[in-house]
DNA sequence: TCTATTGGTTGGAGCGCTCTAATGCTGTAG
DNA sequence: CTACAGCATTAGAGCGCTCCAACCAATAGA
């Protein structure tokens, strides 16, 4: 249970501790003979450098801290993949901590990450107050992903939520929809731009926006739909604030005997793996997640190594992925809803024909039902 | 960009560095006057202790390392929740790293975690070779979750995969199924027990096991089903190695024009959030995930604090969650498949009637189709 | 009054490493 | 033969902290 130290290696190789240190950081100013002797000794002892002692002594760190606001959301896993890729290329390690979407727990996670004095921090969709972030930014470089900031010491990587919402609205309008509601993400990060984009796009088309309060969850989506049905204000198309919300909305619609997409079209946001499942086959807005991670890591490393000080604001273009939850609206004559579901396919792998198929079935059943 | 040190706090509070140290570790042997003076100074300077220096000096660590083999899988998120809960209670922090299911990357993640000299390590379903694990176990306590080990220095927390598979088979048999295939998890961790449990249970019922090679993925499940259809060996029920595999299997079945559960019943394994979605509503085997995490953290902390040396082997009982992908098999007369899908509901929240509904529809459509 | 005792406080060594400046050693030029 | 590079190597200080032993009142016991 006790790891060998540099001293042990030095002793065994018959050199000084400093020389071992040079070899470990593969300095060029070491003779081949000594280098191999040291390497051999290290190997025999199973020595590997103590990262903390190293970083303490060098007053630098080769660690990037990553705070994932919600481990349950696969969205972040792909961002982490992108971060990891770049970090590894550049010889940095990452350590992750999670806040479980609770500000208190997230704050703790932040403290914990900070206590390791990493070279920098990447926060994925943090929910802590902005002040906590700018306070941390006084101590080390910070990059925010999926959350914006005006602080000049922090960089941000976001998708253009306004544009994403606009893509969705344009798609629905081109299918012939006029009444399109937005299930709003409320306080959720990025909910603002999406809502703005939706409103702007609706108005650009000369349509009346209908913003329905909701949240980034399955249950909230279902609840919002039930509310609309009860109010008698259900439109022909729904733009959800994210995929989870959309799936909840679809469930509630179908529970109410409505067909998706024949009676109501639904568009999600995020293109999570959930949306791609054939079973769900959700039309949605895709964000380049791994690219988020890569850009975030790049931005951070630029601050760390090149001492950049001007803030970077990446705003990536989202794209529309058409699957099987959107179709032209039913005409006013009830029995003859549009017979052809959308079959355009926006992503290469994944969603097959199953859902379209089952929708066709559900349509038939309904017409025989009433 | 420079954090204050203990020295700074001591200076400002007019005490020695050692006293500040005592206050930071809230030692009882400090007078109230001094304590509050130090706390005030620390507050004013925005001081927080340097975890690495602390652990270097004390030769102990209050950090638990967690290696998550796959961040994309929400299964692990819940285990981490459990770990975090216990760790936090006991004053430990956790740092996470991920291996992305690649042995090479996982090895690197392990090295990285090790370089922080944490008090112990919890590995969630690791894919590195056993030798790598036992080597690491010489340096610090290790707990394995969802992977077994014979090494006496490592503890393990698993579900009883044999029992889980047996529950699934019993359920299917009780519905009247006789031909039940198992889509096998191959090399995947825990695939062995599940396969054994399946085979044993089948034989106990006097039935012939049919083990089909597959993997823990969506795509693999679909592929396996297509193979069975091509061979003409498709049974009336499928027990998948996990939920992802099951969802892939369902897609492939429905692509082939078969109805779930009327033509074929499908049971998953893991009860992921995916399974609970109304859209999917998968009958599956639930594992107490948060409990896995809690037990793992407990076991680790026992080794760390109480110097326990005898290995602990937790084997938790899984449970069956019946949703809407299982039903009695169709009788031989093709047109009159069992008309009633299972409606038993194993979990309180979540899956509603939508899926059962759409299955009913799909059945109708099929009878009118051919 | 003197010695123990106790509770509070402090100096200093040291954790495993890096980094600077200094050292020893060769080889070449003056 | 001395001088001086130029290179490989090393001693030693120090990173921010903990921990031990020593210290210093202030009180208690004799």
Q: Which CATH class is domain B59-160+289-317?
A: alpha beta
Q: Could you tell me the pLDDT band of residue B217, with boundaries at 50, 70 and 90?
A: confident
Nearest to A51 among B51, B116, B279 (CB): B116
A318 closest CA partner among A200, A197, A206: A197
B8 three-state secondary structure: helix
Q: Could you tell me the pLDDT band of residue B189, with boundaries at 50, 70 and 90?
A: confident
Rounded Cα distance between A87 and A300, Å, is: 10
Print the SS3 string covering B18-33. HHHHHHHCCCCCCCHH
Which region among A204-208, B107-111, B318-322 has the lowest average model confidence (pLDDT)?
B107-111
A174: number of CA atoms within 13 Å, CB side? 9
pLDDT on residue B122 = 97
Which chain D positions come under 7 Å from a protein C-beta?
A: 7-12, 14-20
Nearest C-alpha of chain A: how many angstroms from B220? 12
Which region among A152-156, B204-208, B277-281 has the lowest average model confidence (pLDDT)?
B277-281
Nearest C-alpha of chain A: how many angstroms from B81? 8
- Contact list in B for residue A366 (CB cut-off 8 A) is 361
Q: Could you give the residue range(s) of every CATH 3.40.50.2300 domain in chain B?
A: 59-160+289-317, 161-287+320-369
Q: Tell me the mean pLDDT in the region B81-110.
A: 92
pLDDT on residue A354 = 31
pLDDT on residue A357 = 36
Q: Could you tell me the pLDDT band of residue B346, with boundaries at 50, 70 and 90?
A: very low
Nearest C-alpha of chain A: how many angstroms from B200? 32
Q: Does residue A368 have a pLDDT over 50?
A: no
CA of A137 to C1' of D13 (A): 31
pLDDT on residue A273 = 81
Rounded Cα distance between B104 and B121, Å, is: 18
pLDDT on residue A239 = 98
Q: Could you tell me the pLDDT band of residue A311, with boundaries at 50, 70 and 90?
A: very high
* Helical (H) or strand (E) element with A251: helix A243-255
The rounded Cα A365 to chain-centroid distance in angstroms is: 38
pLDDT on residue A336 = 38
CA of A38 to C1' of D4 (A): 32
Look up the protein residue whose alpha carbon has the minimum distance to the C1' of C14: B57
- The phi-psi region of residue B174 (left if phi > 0; otherwise alpha if psi is between -120 and 50; otherwise beta) is alpha
CA of B90 to C1' of C16 (A): 27
CB B245 within 8 Å of CB B220: yes
Rounded Cα distance between A219 and B239, Å, is: 29
CA of A14 to C1' of D5 (A): 28
pLDDT on residue A256 = 94
Name the residue in chain B with its Cα closest to that of A256. Answer: B354
pLDDT on residue B1 = 64
Q: Which residues fall within 8 angstroms of residue A357, CB to CB, at 6 or more apart?
A: B254, B255
Rounded Cα distance between B370 and A369, Å, is: 20
CB A83 within 8 Å of CB A64: yes
Which region among A93-107, A153-167, A320-334, B55-69 has the lowest average model confidence (pLDDT)?
A320-334
> B237-240 and A142-145: which strand pairing?
unpaired
Rounded Cα distance between A358 and A355, Å, is: 5
Which chain C positions come under 7 Å from a protein C-beta?
A: 7-12, 14-20
Rounded Cα distance between B166 and B194, Å, is: 8
Q: Could you give the residue range(s) of every CATH 1.10.260.40 domain in chain B?
A: 6-49
Rounded Cα distance between A182 and A210, Å, is: 6
Q: Does residue B294 have a pLDDT over 80?
A: yes
Supply the DSSP symbol for B115: T
Nearest C-alpha of chain B: how many angstroms from A76? 8
Max mean pLDDT among A227-241, A338-352, B268-282, B338-352 falls in A227-241
CB B65 within 8 Å of CB B58: no
Q: Tell me the mean pLDDT in the region A133-138.
A: 89
CA of A27 to C1' of D7 (A): 14
- Contact list in A for residue B254 (CB cut-off 8 A) is 278, 354, 357-358
The arrangement of secondary structure in B161-287+320-369, i.e. its CATH architecture, is: 3-Layer(aba) Sandwich (3.40)
Q: Could you tell me the pLDDT band of residue B368, with boundaries at 50, 70 and 90?
A: very low
Q: Which residues fall within 8 angstroms of residue B24, CB to CB, at 6 or more apart?
A: B6, B42, B49
B241 closest CA partner among B299, B200, B287, B285: B285
* Helical (H) or strand (E) element with A82: helix A74-89
Mean of the per-residue pLDDT values of chain B: 86
The burial of A24, by beta-carbon neighbours within 10 Å (0-12 exposed, 13-18 middle, 19 or more buried), is given as middle
CATH classification number, A6-49, choose in 1.10.530.10, 1.25.40.10, 1.10.260.30, 1.10.260.40: 1.10.260.40
A164 three-state secondary structure: helix
What is the maximum alpha-carbon separation in chain A? 92
pLDDT on residue A80 = 96
Rounded Cα distance between B213 and B210, Å, is: 10
Rounded Cα distance between B176 and B235, Å, is: 13
Name the residue in chain A with its Cα closest to that of B356. Answer: A255
Which residues on neighbouring strands pair with residue A320, listed in sequence order?
A285
Q: Does residue B319 have a pLDDT over 90?
A: yes
pLDDT on residue A1 = 64
Of B169 and A29, the structure prediction assigns the larger pLDDT to: B169
Q: Does residue B317 have a pLDDT over 50?
A: yes
Q: Could you give the residue range(s) of every CATH 3.40.50.2300 domain in chain A?
A: 59-160+290-309, 161-287+320-356
Of all residues in chain B, what percent carry a pLDDT higher than 90? 67
Of B305 and B369, the structure prediction assigns the larger pLDDT to: B305
Q: Does residue B337 have a pLDDT over 80?
A: no
| pLDDT, tens digit (0-9, with 9 covering 90-100), for B26-79 | 888 899 999 999 999 999 998 889 989 999 999 999 999 999 998 988 889 999
Angle formed by the axes of helices B243-255 and A354-369, to 10°?
60
Nearest C-alpha of chain B: how many angstroms from A281? 11
Q: Tell me the mean pLDDT in the region A248-268.
A: 94
Mean of the per-residue pLDDT values of chain A: 86
CA of B29 to C1' of D28 (A): 20
Q: Which residues fall within 8 angstroms of residue B191, CB to CB, at 6 or more apart?
A: B184, B185, B216, B241
pLDDT on residue B201 = 98
**Is domain A161-287+320-356 in CATH 3.40.50.2300, yes or no?**
yes
Q: Tell me the mean pLDDT in the region B158-173.
A: 96
| pLDDT, tens digit (0-9, with 9 covering 90-100), for A163-175 | 999 999 999 999 9
The burial of B369, by beta-carbon neighbours within 10 Å (0-12 exposed, 13-18 middle, 19 or more buried), is given as exposed
Of B230 and A72, the structure prediction assigns the larger pLDDT to: B230
Exposure string over A298-311, b if 16+ CB within 10 A, otherwise e: bbbbbbbeeeeeeb
Nearest to B115 among A48, A97, A114 (CB): A48
Rounded Cα distance between B33 and B253, Å, is: 74
pLDDT on residue A285 = 97
Would the CB atoms of A358 and B361 count as touching at under 8 Å? yes
Supply the DSSP symbol for A336: G
Which region among A27-36, A352-361, B105-114 has the lowest average model confidence (pLDDT)?
A352-361
Which region among A10-24, A147-161, A251-265, A324-338 has the lowest average model confidence (pLDDT)?
A324-338
Name the residue in chain A with its Cα closest to that of B80. Answer: A71
Q: Tell me the mean pLDDT in the region B130-159.
A: 90
What does the CA dihedral A172, A173, A175, A179 come to, rounded to 10 degrees?
80
Q: What number of helices (H) and strands (E) belong to chain B?
A: 14, 12
pLDDT on residue B241 = 96
Name the residue in chain A with its Cα closest to that of B85. Answer: A105
> Which residues sit close to strand C, CB under 7 Å?
A 5-7, 17-18, 21, 24-25, 49-50, 53-54, 56-58, 60; B 15-19, 22, 28-31, 33-34, 53, 56-57, 59
CB atoms within 10 A of CB B104: 11
The CATH code that applies to domain A59-160+290-309 is 3.40.50.2300
Instruction: Note the helical H segments in B232-288.
Output: 243-255, 273-276
Pick from A47, A57, A116 the residue to mutate for testing the B interface (most B CBs within 10 Å): A116
Rg (CA), chain B: 26
């Amino acid at each position: 249970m006790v790891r060998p130290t540099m001293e042990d290696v030095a002793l065994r190789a018959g050199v000084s501790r400093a020389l071992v240190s040079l070899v470990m950081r593969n300095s060029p100013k070491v003779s081949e003979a000594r280098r191999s002797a040291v390497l051999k000794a290290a190997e025999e002892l199973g020595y590997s450098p103590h990262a903390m002692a190293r970083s303490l002594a060098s007053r630098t760190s080769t660690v990037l801290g990553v705070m994932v606001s919600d481990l349950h959301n696969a969205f972040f896993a792909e961002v982490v993949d992108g971060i990891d890729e770049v970090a590894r290329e550049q010889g940095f390690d990452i350590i992750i901590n999670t806040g479980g979407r609770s500000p208190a727990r997230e704050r703790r996670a932040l403290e914990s990450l900070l206590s390791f004095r990493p070279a920098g921090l990447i926060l994925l969709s943090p929910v802590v107050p902005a002040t906590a972030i700018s306070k941390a930014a006084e101590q080390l470089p910070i990059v925010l992903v999926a959350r914006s900031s005006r602080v000049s010491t922090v960089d941000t990587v976001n998708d253009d939520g306004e544009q994403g919402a606009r893509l969705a609205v344009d798609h629905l309008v081109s299918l012939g929809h006029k009444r399109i509601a937005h299930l709003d993400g409320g306080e959720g990060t990025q909910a603002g731009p999406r809502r703005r984009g939706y409103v702007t796009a609706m108005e650009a088309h000369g349509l009346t926006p209908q913003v329905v309060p909701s949240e980034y969850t399955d249950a909230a989506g279902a609840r919002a739909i039930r509310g609309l049905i009860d109010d008698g204000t259900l439109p022909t198309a729904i733009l959800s604030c994210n995929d989870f919300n959309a799936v909840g909305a679809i469930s509630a619609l179908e529970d109410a005997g409505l067909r998706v997409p024949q009676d109501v079209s639904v568009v999600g946001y995020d293109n999570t793996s959930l949306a791609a499942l054939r079973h769900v086959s959700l039309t949605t807005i895709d964000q380049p997640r791994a690219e988020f991670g890569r850009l975030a890591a790049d931005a951070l490393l630029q601050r760390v190594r090149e001492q950049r000080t001007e803030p970077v604001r990446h705003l990536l273009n989202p794209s529309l992925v058409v699957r099987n939850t959107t179709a032209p609206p039913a005409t006013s004559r009830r029995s003859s809803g549009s017979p052809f579901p959308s079959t355009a396919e926006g992503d290469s792998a994944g969603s097959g024909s199953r859902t379209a198929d089952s929708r066709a079935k559900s349509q038939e059943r309904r017409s025989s039902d009433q």
